Homo-oligomer: A and B are copies of this chain.
Amino acid sequence: MNLEKLLNPRSVAIVGATEKPGFGGDTTRNYLQFSKDLDHLYLVNPRGGELFGRKAYTSLAEIPEDVDMVILCTPEKTILGLLEEAAAKNCGGAVVFASGYGEVGAEGKIKEQLLIETANKLGIAIMGPNCGGFANYGLGRVAFAFLMEDRERAGNIGLVSQSGQIALSGLDTMHYGFSYVISSGNSCNVSVEEYLEFLVDDDGTKVVCAYMESVKKPAALARLLDKAARKKKPVVLLKTGRSTKSQELAASHTGALSGSDKVLRAMFKRYGVIEADDIEEMYSLALTFSTATSLPKGDRIVYMNVSGGEAGVTADLVDDFKLPLAEYNPETKAKLQSLVPSYGSVNNPFDMTAGIGYNTPAMVEAMEAISADENVDAICIDYTITPQIWDQTIAYMVKAVSIVREKETMKPVFWLPFVSHSRHVESIESLAAAGVPMLPTGLYGCRVLRKVLDFANFEYQPFTPSMVAPVGQTAKALSEVDSLCFLEKHGVVIPPQATAANTEEAMAQAKILGYPLSAKVDSPDILHKSDVGGVKLNIRNDAELCAAFDAIMESCTKAKPDAMIHGVLLKPMLELGAEMIIGVNNDKDFGPMIVVGMGGVFVELLHDVQMRPAPVNHQEAMEMLEQLVSYPLLTGYRGSQPKNVQALADLLVSISQMASQCADQIKELDINPVFVTQDGVSIADALLIVYEDGQ
């Protein structure tokens, strides 16, 4: 759907305009107060006459020019007719505030479907229904039903919100500047993903920000996130659904069933999306990217305080959020020492003392010295800015920051206050003009800073998920031997194995494989082999082998008389090592995901797993392993031999490539365990579930 006429309209009509309070009145008043180009605004009210001193047209047809976009403030039952009238004026977009659609049950869903069909037929992009409207602050089009304060809101944050209330939270807060604010409502024929892509493409939008409850178009989401990542345009998303309860609420709120939340977050990670965990954090992240004129090249920061106490608090906070403290080179340290009084000490966090904090030129010198240090990536000033300036320190410091930021070479500067309240407006504006973001307080501020640094240092490797329709609707489990053969056929290295239908074949294979061996029943109908006596280990010679063969066949035939039993699967006994679990899950939305974790309590009790969309390359595979809590157990923990993690990473790569290539066939894969030794890796067991026609 083309959003040009909806979001960037030249001519606009408000249908249902009135001077009375309510949707029509509030929207008209807002539009007149906050918008530009009022010459091409038309108020429509069947009674005609004058409204707000302007002519009121009795219908859309009466308007003397084409109407790009209509704002419909009228009830549900009028909407279809008005869209037909609008289409006659070459209209391409409509804001529909009316409720009574998909959000109110079965009958409403039918009405919404009819709305979609009509709008699609007429070529009209609908915002809503059941939405709060939108603003294009660049062009000056404010089509909101919300009442709000008269204040400049133009800026570079592009916001889409599935909740009007959450959009309003941003509009109601000082200091945020927006390119677009879109309250998408039911998103009937324009999806949230389409708005997001519009904002990724829009040059006036520096940071894209969204509140989302569900993903309706996974492929579109992946495409737009790829586009944003290539441009390195930050995308800040607050996606509810971490908890079961919020998934339930989203289902009842928007009617959309959400896919796996964990899968979605693995996708976000893959594209470098900045995830916010609540509304405050979402807006703070957006504000930080909006204000910062450059981002740090690393995460080594010097924190500057004017209080020993606040320096101590900062030290604890940055440690909590794994923000590394920059270490000065000796020249920087000497320079700073010359600027503080004799009792001051140069540390990081750096208590500047009054010697620097109350002295703008000294602070300029200090910041320039710190910025010039190759061990420093950024500076963060930690000081509360009060609503009125009683403490002149604030003014001295703000002035110093403004001065140093005039230099092109100055590294990025952030500001972190300790107490939350409104702040001295001129100081905030000076800092914003100097490209210095105001972080939220303490814990929030450090969370935001950590996420901003992660984004700044994220190296995107372009990615398109393997989203392929499966070949069949139903799925079946393959036997161990078939699963392993499937893996081998698709480039995954598996240990030697052979099947034997009788004891003679078994002894012949044993000659090739070599003792000691393991033997397991080979049957597509027996998945839990140990439970039916289908496994024998440590077979050392032909006699033991024959006895094992017979015992397995007898026990399994007895336990599962109907099972088709091909014989036994023989393998040399593997060298034991760290036991890892590798899995593939072909997500309905985003295709195959690869998962890895260490067996035992790590996966089962601690849920210590890493997931990524397939395929992954070697570096990504290593990152997955390194991010496991259990990773130290692989690298020579407490004197044990380091395991071959490179080989494990290679295995992850080959499995992920297979999963990606065979996305139409594989439903699930469970490799449990993989033994990782000093020398390499070996798959001890595998269970593959394929779509029925997919072998």
Tell whether A18 is near chain B: CB-to-CB under 8 Å. Answer: no
B638 near A317 (CB under 8 angstroms)? no
Tell whether A579 is near chain B: CB-to-CB under 8 Å. Answer: no
B279 near A419 (CB under 8 angstroms)? yes
A309-B325 Cα distance, complex, nearest whole Å: 37
A278 near B391 (CB under 8 angstroms)? no
Tell whether A243 is near chain B: CB-to-CB under 8 Å. Answer: yes
Of A7-15, A77-85, A158-166, A550-558, the one touching chain B:
A158-166
List B contacts of A237 (CB < 8 A).
Answer: none
A166 near B307 (CB under 8 angstroms)? yes
A416 to chain B, nearest CB (A): 11
Interface membership of chain A positions 290-308, coded 1 if the CB is closer than 8 angstroms to chain B and 0 otherwise = 0000000000000000111
Interface membership of chain A positions 106-118, coded 1 if the CB is closer than 8 angstroms to chain B and 0 otherwise = 0010000000000
Within 8 A of B (CB), among A304-360: 306-313, 315-320, 325, 342-343, 345, 347, 349, 351
Interface membership of chain A positions 430-445, coded 1 if the CB is closer than 8 angstroms to chain B and 0 otherwise = 0000000000111110
Nearest chain-B residue to A602 (Cβ)? B601
Given A243-B319, A315-B240, A342-B104, A168:B279 Cβ within 8 A:
no
Of A246-254, A402-410, A464-472, the one touching chain B:
A246-254
List B contacts of A103 (CB < 8 A).
Answer: 343
Quick one: which of B213, B316, B342, B387 contacts A242, CB cutoff 8 A? B316
Nearest chain-B residue to A244 (Cβ)? B319
Chain A residues near B (Cβ < 8 Å): 103-105, 108, 146-149, 161-166, 168-170, 172-174, 211, 213, 238, 240-246, 248-250, 252-254, 277-281, 283, 306-313, 315-320, 325, 342-343, 345, 347, 349, 351, 384, 386-388, 390-391, 418-422, 440-444, 447, 601, 604-606, 629-630, 632-633, 637-638
B320 near A242 (CB under 8 angstroms)? yes
B316 near A243 (CB under 8 angstroms)? yes
A280 near B419 (CB under 8 angstroms)? yes
Name, among A240, A277, A387, A391, the residue most crowded by chain B CB atoms within 10 Å (CB to CB): A240
* Identical copies of this chain, number: 2
Q: Closest 10 interchain pairs by CB?
A: A163-B309, A165-B307, A243-B319, A278-B442, A253-B308, A246-B315, A422-B422, A240-B312, A104-B343, A245-B315
A319 near B242 (CB under 8 angstroms)? yes
- Can you give 15 contacting A-B residue pairs, CB < 8 Å? A108-B343, A164-B309, A166-B313, A168-B391, A240-B309, A240-B316, A252-B345, A252-B347, A277-B443, A278-B316, A279-B442, A420-B441, A605-B629, A605-B632, A605-B633
A313 near B173 (CB under 8 angstroms)? no
List B contacts of A391 (CB < 8 A).
Answer: 146-147, 168, 172
A153 to chain B, nearest CB (A): 14
A308 near B443 (CB under 8 angstroms)? no
B165 near A277 (CB under 8 angstroms)? no
Given A250-B312, A253-B312, A278-B418, A147:B633 Cβ within 8 A:
no
Given contacts A172-B386, A240-B313, A249-B308, 19 further A-B contacts (CB under 8 A): A164-B309, A169-B384, A213-B308, A241-B316, A242-B319, A244-B319, A246-B316, A252-B345, A277-B442, A277-B443, A278-B418, A279-B310, A279-B442, A280-B419, A280-B442, A420-B420, A443-B444, A605-B629, A605-B637
List B contacts of A325 (CB < 8 A).
Answer: 245
Nearest chain-B residue to A608 (Cβ)? B606
A390-B213 Cα distance, complex, nearest whole Å: 26
B319 near A390 (CB under 8 angstroms)? no
Given A149-B390, A601-B633, A166:B310 Cβ within 8 A:
yes
Nearest chain-B residue to A104 (Cβ)? B343
